[in-house]
């Protein structure tokens, strides 16, 4: 069960495997440990890095407890010069120990006064060393101070559904812009923004592909999107991203949809509508009731947003613009933050 995860942003104590499986059986000699204080995303941090003589280390987070982070290192040997105990720079981490475990493994333990349990408390990755140096790779562990002003979305889970994809282009604009591409671009940017805010994001698709299988029927596609949401019981809201189209190129504006299956569906659609209207500046067609499948069949508050009309040349030009897409993604983030901020006050 080796998963390649370049960076682990948030861990709540379960086992994560990382690195690649290619190096199985090849011993990594751990040669050096160093640390320095730095700032990451405006937060105080300490970077601890362990140098080794080959690439593709496999590691796993064993435990993320109150004051202790333990990471298993697979197929390693400790160099004689490597201290078994190390005190890092700064005040975020107190002590690092590396102890052999079994025949070829080791356990890296980082102790801290402050909790590791706050969201985005640490980030782990491997990084190549200088090709001319003995150290071919570093295991890098960043320990971060809590964010000064955490986002209200922190710790929440959101399903983002970029409309259409793969064999289904969705609407095609006046000069050829495809709905599936705009929906994916805005959704991916929103995903990044939510990650930075400390939220967990579940995407129904991350590339230009059908969600179920290539060429599947529209109803099957919609079912697959609902399935993704239902497979994640931790998910709290569902957001489907679309662009509009009409035979008359004069049709214009933005709108958001809901189906009132919970107390919060309409409210979510209202917040999204307000923020999109403010940021995008398009004519506001309003917050609308609709019996859309993804709104009815998901079991969490859901909204479908129509960002603008691809059949309208002016709006198509806006929707193709990455700066405009950024504005829309930021607006969606603000709406989601407002939603969870209010939830928190209930």
Binding site for Zn ion (CB under 5 A): 163, 170, 242
Query: Min. distance of Cβ 245 from Zn ion in angstroms?
Result: 8
Nearer of residues 70 and 252 to Zn ion, judged by Cβ: 252
Q: What angle do CA 125, 189, 221 make, to 5 degrees?
A: 105
Sheet holding 302-309, edge to edge: 200-203, 157-162, 237-244, 302-309, 254-258, 284-289
Q: How far is the CB of 37 from Zn ion (least distance, A)?
A: 48
Let me know: does 34 contact 82? Beta carbons within 8 Å: no
Smallest distance, Å, CB 120 to Zn ion? 33
- Buried b / exposed e over 261-272, threshold 16 CB at 10 Å, is ebebbbbbbbbb
* Nearest CB to Zn ion, comparing residues 242 and 334: 242
Nearer to Zn ion, 179 or 265 (CB): 179
Least CB distance to Zn ion at residue 170 (A): 4
The distance of closest approach from Cβ of residue 192 to Zn ion in the complex, given in angstroms and rounded to an integer, is 22
Six token digits for residue 183: 């929906």
Q: In what order do the strands lie in the sheet with 85-86?
A: 16-18, 58-64, 68-74, 105-111, 95-101, 85-86
Beta carbon nearer to Zn ion, 163 or 308: 163
Tell me whether strands 200-203 and 137-144 are parallel, antiparallel or unpaired.
Answer: unpaired
Instruction: Give Cβ neighbours of residue 160 (< 8 Å, ≥ 6 apart).
Output: 187, 190, 191, 201, 202, 203, 204, 239, 241
Q: Would you say 33 or 183 has its CB closer to Zn ion?
A: 183
**Considering beta carbons, is residue 242 or 285 the nearer one to Zn ion?**
242
**DSSP track, 158-171:** EEEEE--BTTB--S
Residue identified by tokens 């105080």 is 44
Minimum gap (Å) between residue 104 Cβ and Zn ion: 53
At closest approach, how far in Å is the CB of 163 from Zn ion? 4
C-beta nearest to Zn ion: residue: 242
Would you say 170 or 173 has its CB closer to Zn ion?
Answer: 170
Quick one: CA torsion of 220, 224, 227, 228, rounded to 10 degrees?
Answer: -170
């Amino acid at each position: 069960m080796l998963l390649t995860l370049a960076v682990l942003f948030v861990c709540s104590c379960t086992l994560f495997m990382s690195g690649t499986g290619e190096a199985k059986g090849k011993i990594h000699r751990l040669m050096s440990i160093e640390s320095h204080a730095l700032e990451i995303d405006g937060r105080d941090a300490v970077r601890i890095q362990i140098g080794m003589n080959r690439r593709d280390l496999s590691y796993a987070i064993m435990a993320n407890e109150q004051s202790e982070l333990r990471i298993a290192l697979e197929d390693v040997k400790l160099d004689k010069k490597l201290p078994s105990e190390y005190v890092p720079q700064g005040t975020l981490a107190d002590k690092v120990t590396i102890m052999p475990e079994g025949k070829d493994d080791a356990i890296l333990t980082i102790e801290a006064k402050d909790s590791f349990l706050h969201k985005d408390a640490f980030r782990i990755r491997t990084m190549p060393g200088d090709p001319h140096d003995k150290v071919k790779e570093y295991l890098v562990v960043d320990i971060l101070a809590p964010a000064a002003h955490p986002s209200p979305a922190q710790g929440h889970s959101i399903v983002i559904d970029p409309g259409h994809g793969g064999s289904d282009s969705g609407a095609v604009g006046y000069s050829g812009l495809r709905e599936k591409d705009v929906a994916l671009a805005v959704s991916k940017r929103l995903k990044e923004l939510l990650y930075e805010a400390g939220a967990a994001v579940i995407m129904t698709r991350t590339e230009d592909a059908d969600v179920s299988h290539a060429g599947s029927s529209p109803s099957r596609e919609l079912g697959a999107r609902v399935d993704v949401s239902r497979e994640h019981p931790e998910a709290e809201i569902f957001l489907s991203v679309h662009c509009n189209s009409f035979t008359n190129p004069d049709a214009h504006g933005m709108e958001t949809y809901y189906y009132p299956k919970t107390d919060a569906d309409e409210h979510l659609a209202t917040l999204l509508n307000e923020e999109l209207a403010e940021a995008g500046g398009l004519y506001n067609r309003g917050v609308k009731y609709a019996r859309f499948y993804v709104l009815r069949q998901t079991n969490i508050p859901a909204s479908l947003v129509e960002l603008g009309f691809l059949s309208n040349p002016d709006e198509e030009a806006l929707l193709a613009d990455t700066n405009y897409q950024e504005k829309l993604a930021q607006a969606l983030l603000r709406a989601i933050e407002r939603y969870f901020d209010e939830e928190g006050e209930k």
